[in-house]
């Protein structure tokens, strides 16, 4: 075993969350170590030419977490044998797991809208609006709770987060910008950068919905889609300079969303450079964390253990450990280390006990879900123009509780962020087989084979019309039956159990889709779309076949009550434990991500954004904790 020098703060994983914590703490004069299992990607050398290589990047997965090292298993319910994920989906549009500095955010479209006030108080607001039994009635084995903090308490952290990462947008879509404005999460400060140039489809969507009445009886309020890709040169509060997007495309789908200019926000190009410049930060790459070493009493973490590239065991002691790892990797590390109380599901009673692994939710749409599609007479270049998330227009009017859910059948809560008009970025594989090659079916008797299908691909990248559509769904709600634990059969390359996901769609997702799809159908029809068609095919078990790995959330709650939630907001932590968790695992309040897409999609990765302010809160809490430690007020 190799002993490393003790430091003040050890960051486990170096993605978005650790980027904030490491930078804030290092700039405040603390010694910080960040440990990541992958390399430090350099966009100039690693992405500037090679990202245009769809086969190597999108299909060979050369930037992604290697499955031979570690995978996960998945099943739909606790009675099943969980099968391991053997291969990244080919094609892979939705399964980019991070590897190295920046983590999963090296591979996202850049959707970065805020969570609104309702999301933080989903349980209590639903109860007061529709009755105390409403949630339990629509969500079997319901385990939904409010966050311990409100949106208003997180708002200042959102501002810091948006400054650090150079978020583009314009809140002027909000009619009043007041805290009482239900059409928009109130913002004390506009986004630091203006939106990207709008596409013709975005303009059509905007002008159409401006003249339409939303379900709440008011006019729709469209606004430029919020994006984490810088639209202009920018310098953040840490002095890190940011290149603007060059719109060279090759972003979506098979190109794995790698960004060759660093315009797309992630820790590697926004926060970590400042941490390194401070002189107080040590970055350890290609290091696979496998255990947290606990004190004899079990209420303190003493050290983190990791394997280096040669398989040597390193021991890294510290005063504070911040877990910024990917969602279920974080859960797995805690379970492997005996930290916290493992969640145990009781299928007999339909409840569970324990906290670590509880409340797994999904932040993305059922692949074969309810959907609506049509065609508009706007052409364009479907070849790799554009970027991953800019250029579109969105509305909040079909989201959260921004319309009444009374008397809707089947019942549901929440809704989705809808928008249209994002750029058609992507390489050649993206449009032809981003969703996989089709089996023979009624519409295409030979599937993706033969002359008839081939003819549909001729000049497909030079469309004179565009397909528009949406696969909406309402928030996935936490339930006792969806959770994470350790798999009893499969191990990683070092012989440790992999994580096991027990998950199926909750009824709220597809019940909401049934309602939302018709609202969007009305919008598409008003836009002048032809052949507007609704398909309603959501059913259980689709999750088993499509692994939506990087959109899964939950498994560890943010909480102030340490008996209810293992992860704690900082206020409750001082004096208890050295661990701080990011809220990306607090999925019980995840919402949104309904979406309206053109052919390549305008993604909504809003869950990332909800974790952002939590990382600032954690950084603040760690500073207080270290100060208390220094004064001896805690031991």
Partner 1 sequence: MVSQTRREFLKLGLAAAASAAAASGIEIPLLGNQNSNLQNQLNSANIQMANLKTKLNTVTGFVSLNINEQSLVEAIVETIIPSDSTGPGAKEAGVIYFIDRALAGDYGQSANMFMDAPHNPPGIPASAGPLTVKPSSAWAFLQNYQQTAYLRSGTAISYLGASRTYTVGGTNYTVNYGITASPRVGSGINLQYPVNMREFWRISLAALQAYSRKYYGGNYQTLSSTNQMQVLKDLWANTPKTQTNPPPPADDLTGFSNILASDFAYELTFMTWAGFLMDPLYGGNQNMVGWDYVGFNGVNFGNFYGEGLNQKTLMVASSPTKLKPASLAQYQQQATGGA
Q: Does residue 463 bind partner 1 (CB under 8 A)? A: yes
Nearer to partner 1 among residue 64 and residue 397 (C-beta): 64
With CB under 8 A, what is the number of residues at the site for partner 1? 101
Cα–Cα distances in angstroms (integers) from residue 305 to residues 292, 335, 383, 497, 522, in the given order: 6, 14, 46, 16, 56
In DSSP terms, 372 is beta-bridged to 470, 534
Nearer to partner 1 among residue 121 and residue 260 (C-beta): 260
Q: Does residue 489 bind partner 1 (CB under 8 A)? A: yes
Integer Cα distance of 164 and 19 in angstroms: 10
For the segment 46-65, give every residue that binds partner 1 (CB under 8 A): 49, 52-55, 59-61
Nearer to partner 1 among residue 90 and residue 212 (C-beta): 90
Among 127, 277, 490, 624, binds partner 1 (CB under 8 A): 490
Q: Does residue 83 bind partner 1 (CB under 8 A)? A: yes
- Are 499 and 356 in contact by the 8 Å Cβ rule? The answer is no
Among 173, 384, 388, 554, binds partner 1 (CB under 8 A): 384
| Triad 179, 394, 526: Cα angle to 5° | 120
Q: How far is the CB of 522 from partner 1 (least distance, A)?
A: 24
For the segment 257-296, give every residue that binds partner 1 (CB under 8 A): none
Q: Does residue 68 bind partner 1 (CB under 8 A)? A: yes
Among 178, 455, 631, 635, binds partner 1 (CB under 8 A): 455
Closest CA to 520 of 336, 394, 401: 394
111: Cα separation from own chain's centroid: 9
Q: Which stretch binds partner 1 (CB under 8 A): 145-153, 217-225, 379-387, 625-633?
A: 379-387
Q: Does residue 249 bind partner 1 (CB under 8 A)? A: yes
Among 23, 30, 36, 76, binds partner 1 (CB under 8 A): 76
Q: Does residue 179 bind partner 1 (CB under 8 A)? A: no
Q: How far is the CB of 324 from partner 1 (least distance, A)?
A: 24
For the segment 339-378, give every residue that binds partner 1 (CB under 8 A): 368, 378
For the segment 590-619, give every residue that binds partner 1 (CB under 8 A): none
In DSSP terms, 484 is beta-bridged to 501
In DSSP terms, 375 is beta-bridged to 467, 530
Q: Does residue 67 bind partner 1 (CB under 8 A)? A: yes
Q: Which stretch binds partner 1 (CB under 8 A): 45-53, 101-109, 523-531, 600-608?
A: 45-53
Q: Does residue 495 bind partner 1 (CB under 8 A)? A: yes
DSSP states of 265-307 as a string?
--HHHHTHHHHHHTT-EEEE-S-EEEEEEEPTTSSSEEEEEEE
- CB 89: neighbour CB atoms within 10 A? 17
Integer Cα distance of 316 and 631 in angstroms: 24
3-state secondary structure of 102: coil
Half-sphere exposure of 159 (CA within 13 A, CB side): 9
Q: Does residue 552 bind partner 1 (CB under 8 A)? A: no
| Triad 38, 40, 42: Cα angle to 5° | 135
- Are 374 and 358 in contact by the 8 Å Cβ rule? The answer is no
Nearer to partner 1 among residue 259 and residue 399 (C-beta): 259
Pairing of strands 497-502, 371-376: unpaired
Q: How far is the CB of 425 from partner 1 (least distance, A)?
A: 8
Q: Does residue 140 bind partner 1 (CB under 8 A)? A: no
Among 297, 464, 563, 635, binds partner 1 (CB under 8 A): 464
Nearer to partner 1 among residue 485 and residue 492 (C-beta): 492
Contact flags string 512-551 toward partner 1, x per CB under 8 A: -------------------------x-xxxx-xxxx-x--
Q: How far is the CB of 221 from partner 1 (least distance, A)?
A: 23
Integer Cα distance of 201 and 393 in angstroms: 9
Cα–Cα distances in angstroms (integers) from residue 315 to residues 6, 58, 181, in the given order: 9, 35, 51
Q: Does residue 564 bind partner 1 (CB under 8 A)? A: no
Q: Which residues contact 404 (CB under 8 A, 6 or more apart)?
A: 215, 216
Q: How far is the CB of 543 from partner 1 (least distance, A)?
A: 9
Q: How far is the CB of 567 from partner 1 (least distance, A)?
A: 28
For the segment 422-451, give every residue that binds partner 1 (CB under 8 A): 423-425, 427-429, 432-433, 436-441, 445-451
Integer Cα distance of 383 and 432 in angstroms: 11
* Preceding amide of 66 cis, omega within 30: no
Q: Does residue 305 bind partner 1 (CB under 8 A)? A: no
Integer Cα distance of 260 and 258 in angstroms: 7
* DSSP state for residue 498 in the 8-state scheme: E
Nearer to partner 1 among residue 390 and residue 565 (C-beta): 390
Nearer to partner 1 among residue 380 and residue 565 (C-beta): 380
Integer Cα distance of 473 and 365 in angstroms: 6
Q: Does residue 130 bind partner 1 (CB under 8 A)? A: no
Q: How far is the CB of 424 from partner 1 (least distance, A)?
A: 7
Closest CA to 603 of 303, 244, 253, 242: 253
For the segment 186-205, give every residue that binds partner 1 (CB under 8 A): 197-200
Integer Cα distance of 414 and 53 in angstroms: 40
- Pair of tokens at residue 343: 């969640």
Among 89, 467, 518, 628, binds partner 1 (CB under 8 A): 89
In DSSP terms, 395 is beta-bridged to 418
Nearer to partner 1 among residue 42 and residue 561 (C-beta): 42
395: Cα separation from own chain's centroid: 19
Nearer to partner 1 among residue 381 and residue 467 (C-beta): 381
Q: How far is the CB of 459 from partner 1 (least distance, A)?
A: 4
Nearer to partner 1 among residue 430 and residue 578 (C-beta): 430
Q: Does residue 248 bind partner 1 (CB under 8 A)? A: yes
Q: Which residues contact 534 (CB under 8 A, 6 or more apart)?
A: 370, 371, 372, 517, 518, 521
Integer Cα distance of 183 and 195 in angstroms: 19
Q: Which stretch binds partner 1 (CB under 8 A): 30-38, 70-78, 169-177, 213-221?
A: 70-78
Q: Does residue 74 bind partner 1 (CB under 8 A)? A: yes
Nearer to partner 1 among residue 220 and residue 547 (C-beta): 547
């Amino acid at each position: 075993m190799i002993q490393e020098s003790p430091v003040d703060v050890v960051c486990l994983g170096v993605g978005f969350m650790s980027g904030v914590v490491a930078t804030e703490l290092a700039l405040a004069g603390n010694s910080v170590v960040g440990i990541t299992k992958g390399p430090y990607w350099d966009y100039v050398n690693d992405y500037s030419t090679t990202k245009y290589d769809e086969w190597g990047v999108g299909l060979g997965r050369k930037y992604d977490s290697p499955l031979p090292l570690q995978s996960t298993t998945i099943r739909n319910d606790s009675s099943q044998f969980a099968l391991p994920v053997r291969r990244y989906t080919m094609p892979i549009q939705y399964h980019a797991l991070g590897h190295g500095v920046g983590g999963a955010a090296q591979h996202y479209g850049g959707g970065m809208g805020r969570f609104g006030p309702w999301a933080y108080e989903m349980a209590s607001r639903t109860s007061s609006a529709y009755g105390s039994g409403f949630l339990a009635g629509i969500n079997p084995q319901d385990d939904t709770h409010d966050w311990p903090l409100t949106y208003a308490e997180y708002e200042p952290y959102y501002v810091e987060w948006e400054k650090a990462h150079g978020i583009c947008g314009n809140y002027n879509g909000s009619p009043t910008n007041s805290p009482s404005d239900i059409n928009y999460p109130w913002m004390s400060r506009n986004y630091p950068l203006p939106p990207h140039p709008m596409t013709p489809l975005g303009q059509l969507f905007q002008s159409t919905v401006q003249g339409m009445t939303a379900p709440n009886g008011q006019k729709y309020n469209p606004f430029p889609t919020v994006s984490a890709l810088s639209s202009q040169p920018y310098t953040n509060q840490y002095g890190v300079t940011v290149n603007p997007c060059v719109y060279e495309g090759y972003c979506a789908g098979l190109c794995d969303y790698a960004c060759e200019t660093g315009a797309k926000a992630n820790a590697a190009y926004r926060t970590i450079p400042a941490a390194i410049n401070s002189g107080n930060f040590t970055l350890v790459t290609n290091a696979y964390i496998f255990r947290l070493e606990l004190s004899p009493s079990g209420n303190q973490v003493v050290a983190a253990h990791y394997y280096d590239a040669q398989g040597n065991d390193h021991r890294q002691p510290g005063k504070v450990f911040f877990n910024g790892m990917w969602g279920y990797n974080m859960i797995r590390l805690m379970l492997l280390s005996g930290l916290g109380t493992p969640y145990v599901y009781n299928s007999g009673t339909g409840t569970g006990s324990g906290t670590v692994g509880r409340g797994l939710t999904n932040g993305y749409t059922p692949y074969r879900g309810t959907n609506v599609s049509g065609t508009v007479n706007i052409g364009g270049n479907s070849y790799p123009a554009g970027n991953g998330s800019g250029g579109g227009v969105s509305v909040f009017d079909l989201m959260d509780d921004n319309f009444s859910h009374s008397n809707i059948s089947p019942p549901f809560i929440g809704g989705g962020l809808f928008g249209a008009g994002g750029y058609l970025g992507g390489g050649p594989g993206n449009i032809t087989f981003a969703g996989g090659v089709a089996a023979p079916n009624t519409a295409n008797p030979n599937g993706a084979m033969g002359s008839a299908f081939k003819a549909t691909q001729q000049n497909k990248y030079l469309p004179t019309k565009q397909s528009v559509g949406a696969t909406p769904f309402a928030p996935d709600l936490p339930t006792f039956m969806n959770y994470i634990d350790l798999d009893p059969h499969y191990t990683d390359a070092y012989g440790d159990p992999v994580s096991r996901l027990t998950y199926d769609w909750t009824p709220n997702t597809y019940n909401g889709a049934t309602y939302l799809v018709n609202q969007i159908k009305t919008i598409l029809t008003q836009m002048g779309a032809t052949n507007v068609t609704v398909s309603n095919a959501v059913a259980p078990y689709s999750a088993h076949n499509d692994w939506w790995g990087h959109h899964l959330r939950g498994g560890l709650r943010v909480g102030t009550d340490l008996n209810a939630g293992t992860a704690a907001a900082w206020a409750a932590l001082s004096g208890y434990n050295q661990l701080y968790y990011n809220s990306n695992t607090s999925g019980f309040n995840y919402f949104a991500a309904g979406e309206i897409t053109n052919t390549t999609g305008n993604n909504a990765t809003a869950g990332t954004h909800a974790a952002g302010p939590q990382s600032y809160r954690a950084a603040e809490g760690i500073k207080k904790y270290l100060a208390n430690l220094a004064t001896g007020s805690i031991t």
